[in-house]
Amino acid sequence: MRLGELWAYRELLYFLIWRDVKVRYKQTVLGAAWAILQPLLTAAVFTLFFGRLAGIASDGMPYPLFSYVGLLAWTFFAQGLTQSSASVVGSAQLITKVYFPRLVIPIAAVLSGFVDLAVAFPVVVVMMWHYHVWPGLALLALPCLVLLGLVAAVGVGLWLSALNVKYRDVRYVVPFLVQIWLFVTPVIYPASTVAAYLEGWGIPAWVLGLNPMAGVVEGFRWALLGAPTTPGPLIASSAVTGLVLLVSGIFYFRSVERSFADVV
Amino acid sequence: MSAAAIRVEGLSKMYLIGERQPYKSLRESIMRALSKPFRGEPGDEATVWALKDVSLEIGEGEVVGLIGRNGAGKSTLLKILSRITEPTEGRVELHGRVGSLLEVGTGFHQELTGRENIYLNGAILGMRRAEIARKFDEIVDFAEVERFIDTPVKHFSTGMYLRLAFAVAAHLEPEILLVDEVLAVGDAAFQKKCMGKMGDVARGGRTVLFVSHNLAAVQALCQRAVLLRSGRMHLYGGVDEVVSTYHAEISSAEASLSARQDRQGDQRLVVSKLHIFPLRGNPGDTVRTGDDTVFELYYENRCGQSVRNLEVTIGIYDFLGRAMTFLENAPTGVRIDTDAESGSFRCVVPKLPLIPGQYVVNLHLKEHMTIIDWVQQALAFTVHDGDFFGTGKQTFTRVGGVFVPQSWAHRAHGSSQGEP
């Protein structure tokens, strides 16, 4: 897969991430506060409509905390997917003028979302302190779950960014995809609700994990908020689909990247 | 001869030109897949060979110019050598670290400061962070932008922006350098500096392939040159021989103007000949600064349709590709309608103000928003020394672009002798 070349260009990767981060909040009044406001306001709306009015369960956790932690993982994924899918077409200027491994572009687009994740994270600590919820040993699994979220975002991002070069339909598909994906991922509701329903049909709960973000979101809650049961099978099946997406994404991207400069 | 740094064998590159846009909509692809059994293979689209069967070898440390008309395949060749695009056929061998400079300022971001852009652009061009840090002061110094280095480049003047962009690029130190027409940047003083820097690079033992329309620059920098014509290699040899062949090619455009295939527009009218000569002379006579000069353009109407309100533009560019002036009928209030089979337009420029030198002409015929015929580099012509000011003296100016009529007077105030 010629990944060694990617390593040789790690400084370029670093500079592209740095540029994205630097430029993202320039000329905005609130700057990086947006990274907190987006998930926080969404969590507030979810709490009001889904938690209070619709009375959706939250596995015994306070609903605001439940939804904010879920949104933290989800926002990282959704932003990464959105940014990276447009990244190759958006970098047409570079692609037609300079050679470098094209993989750098969508990967940098996803990685720049880490900064937003890091900015929004302390809010969780404040909320946990407020609700007197403390993490256990499962917290140690958090970096692995973040990595899994990254793998899933890059995997999908590679597919979409490469397809977008050839089929500009992708631009219209992405917002729609992100919306649908949010609803099929246990962000608003706990996975346990769906698992119970599935088991009624004799379908094992890990099937939910075929959506890689199901494992990541549930995993985030387990690691941070100490959910009673370990969502092991769910995370395992999510890891498998995540890796399949990543590897197939790299192969597809590699197979079409040689024509990028002529088509983009 | 030293070992080859660049070896190219049977290189060809084909582009599809049938489709309006190279990318497809999903629907189109699905429809095509569904209808395939009922149609021919999609190979029936029009194709064009931007490059056809080019083979050449450039030795280590050689500085080679690459010249040819627009569309001859120069940029395509550089793009293939830079690995930006893949050849359709043939193979390329490169021995050494390649740096390519197809434009200046690639990846510059308007919102970032000069300092930030130096690092970003350097990384994009393949420089290491430590290397950029080491050369940082030199780059800033070269670009003459010390005072604005922490200002976002969107506040830079065009000149400053280009100087900074060129400065970063000029400090790239690969073993093989591929350069595309990046010297025509900034004012005359900065261009001189750029040429000096390119000269240093050329003498520094690096292998350089250099594309330029600036034939003087090619001759100054390169020992050898390649002439491409319609995607094929026409000549590869000593720079003087190649440049003079190319010059003959564009100067004898009169004969070949109607044969030019690389024209754009709907071709309702086609320019067949262009003559530039002194009003008190004949086609073929030498053109001098200060002479009343005729630009006579012959056209043919090949499809018999009439054209209303035709806009004719004769664009005159100097040897650096800088636009000097445009001769246009529309702004002068002259309306042209034609349904003739052929004819000519004559534009007379009283007292030609161009300084002596070489010029290139682009021709453009337009009806409202529609391009009818557009030929780039239709003709090259030389303006010789002349008597612009009508004083019987020859002008020897080689700087600036044009002479303007002027009158001078001197009035003395007071007297150095004191009042008598």
CB contact under 8 A, B84 and A261: yes
More confident: B22 or A263: A263
pLDDT at residue number B1: 47
CB contact under 8 A, B125 and A98: yes
From CA A263, how far away is CA B24, in angstroms rounded? 10
pLDDT at residue number B41: 44
Q: Do B139 and B163 form a contact (C-beta atoms < 8 A)?
A: no
Q: Span A180-209, mean pLDDT? A: 89
Out of A15, A99, A263, the one facing B23 most closely (by C-beta) is A263
With pLDDT > 70 as the criterion, what percentage of chain A qualifies? 99
H/E stretch holding B297 reads strand B293-301
Token pair 């080689």: residue: B398
CB contact under 8 A, B107 and A94: yes
Q: β-strand B89-94 against B4-16: which pairing, if any? A: antiparallel
What confidence tens digit (pLDDT) does each residue in B235-278 have?
A: 999 998 998 888 777 665 555 677 777 788 888 899 988 889 89
Show the CA angle centred on residue B362, arms to residues B21 and B339, nearest 5°.
85
Tokens of B18: 């049938």
pLDDT at residue number B20: 43
pLDDT at residue number B58: 93
Give the model's confidence band at A123: pLDDT under 50 very low, under 70 low, under 90 confident, else very high.
Answer: very high
Preferred mutation among B84, B118, B211 to probe A, highest tally of A CBs within 10 A? B84
pLDDT at residue number B42: 45
Q: Do B121 and B170 form a contact (C-beta atoms < 8 A)?
A: no
Q: State the smallest CA–CA distance between residue A16 and chain B in angstroms.
A: 7
The residue type found at A130 is H
Q: Do B152 and B109 form a contact (C-beta atoms < 8 A)?
A: no
From CA A154, how far away is CA A204, in angstroms rounded? 28
Residue of B nearest to A12 (CA): B123
Token pair 């073993």: residue: B175
- B-chain residues near A167 (CB < 8 A): 23-26, 29
Out of A19, A27, A166, the one facing B24 most closely (by C-beta) is A166
Question: How is the beta sheet containing B224-229 ordered, strand by strand?
Answer: B98-101, B176-180, B207-211, B63-67, B224-229, B232-238
Q: Span A245-254, mean pLDDT? A: 95
Out of A94, A166, A264, the one facing B124 most closely (by C-beta) is A94
pLDDT at residue number A206: 86
CB contact under 8 A, A259 and B86: yes
Q: State the smallest CA–CA distance between residue B364 and chain A in angstroms.
A: 28
Give the model's confidence band at B44: pLDDT under 50 very low, under 70 low, under 90 confident, else very high.
Answer: very low
Residue of B nearest to A259 (CA): B85
Out of A15, A100, A258, the one facing B120 most closely (by C-beta) is A15
Q: Do B183 and B198 form a contact (C-beta atoms < 8 A)?
A: yes
Q: A19: Cβ–Cβ under 8 A, 6 or more apart, which residues?
A: B109, B112, B116, B120
Tell me the ipTM for this assembly.
Answer: 0.85
**B99-121 b/e with 16+ CB inside 10 Å = b?**
bbbbebbbbbbeebbbbbbbbbb
- B-chain residues near A99 (CB < 8 A): 82-84, 98, 100
- B-chain residues near A19 (CB < 8 A): 109, 112, 116, 120
From CA B338, how far away is CA B343, in angstroms rounded? 9
Q: Do A81 and A106 form a contact (C-beta atoms < 8 A)?
A: no
- Furthest CA-CA distance within chain B: 109
pTM above 0.80, yes or no: no
What confidence tens digit (pLDDT) does each residue in A36-55 have?
A: 999 999 999 999 999 889 98
pLDDT at residue number B43: 46
Cβ of A235: how many Cβ atoms within 10 Å?
A: 25
What confidence tens digit (pLDDT) does each residue in B151-190 have?
A: 999 998 878 888 898 889 888 888 898 988 766 566 667 7
Q: Do B92 and B209 form a contact (C-beta atoms < 8 A)?
A: no
Select from B363, B309, B313 the least CA-distant residue to B335: B309
Out of A15, A26, A259, the one facing B119 most closely (by C-beta) is A15
Task: Tell me chain A's radius of gyration from C-alpha atoms.
Answer: 19
Lowest mean pLDDT among A234-243, B229-238, B340-349, B381-390: B381-390
Q: Is B63 left (phi over 0), alpha (psi -120 to 50) or beta?
A: beta
Lowest mean pLDDT among A215-219, B130-134, B340-344: B340-344
Preferred mutation among A99, A104, A165, A260 to probe B, highest tally of B CBs within 10 A? A99
Does the pLDDT of residue B2 top 60, yes or no? no
More confident: A202 or B226: B226
Q: B66: Cβ–Cβ under 8 A, 6 or more apart, which residues?
A: B74, B77, B78, B209, B210, B211, B225, B226, B228
Q: State the smallest CA–CA distance between residue A178 and chain B in angstroms.
A: 19
Lowest mean pLDDT among A104-108, A153-157, A238-242, B124-128: B124-128
The per-residue pLDDT of chain A, averaged, comes to 91
From CA B364, how far away is CA B337, in angstroms rounded? 16
Interface of B with A (CB under 8 A): 15, 22-27, 29, 79, 82-86, 98, 100, 102-103, 106-107, 109, 111-112, 116, 119-120, 123-126, 128-129
Cβ of A127: how many Cβ atoms within 10 Å?
A: 19
CB contact under 8 A, B82 and A168: no
Select from B226, B240, B259, B291 the least CA-distant residue to B378: B259
Residue of B nearest to A99 (CA): B84
Q: Span B82-99, mean pLDDT? A: 90
| Side-chain half-sphere CA neighbours of A62 within 13 A | 16
Does the pLDDT of residue A231 top 80, yes or no? yes
Q: Phi/psi of residue B91, each to 5°?
A: -135, 155
Residue of A nearest to B131 (CA): A11
CB pairs under 8 A between A and B: 77
Q: State the smallest CA–CA distance between residue B308 and chain A in angstroms.
A: 37
What confidence tens digit (pLDDT) does each residue in B305-317 have?
A: 888 999 999 999 8
Q: Span A104-115, mean pLDDT? A: 93
Give the model's confidence band at B39: pLDDT under 50 very low, under 70 low, under 90 confident, else very high.
Answer: very low
Does the pLDDT of residue A1 top 80, yes or no? no
- A-chain residues near B26 (CB < 8 A): 167, 169
What confidence tens digit (pLDDT) does each residue in B64-79 have?
A: 999 987 778 888 999 9
| Side-chain half-sphere CA neighbours of A53 within 13 A | 7
From CA A81, how far away is CA A156, in angstroms rounded? 7
The per-residue pLDDT of chain B, averaged, comes to 83
Out of B25, B106, B120, the one facing A169 most closely (by C-beta) is B25
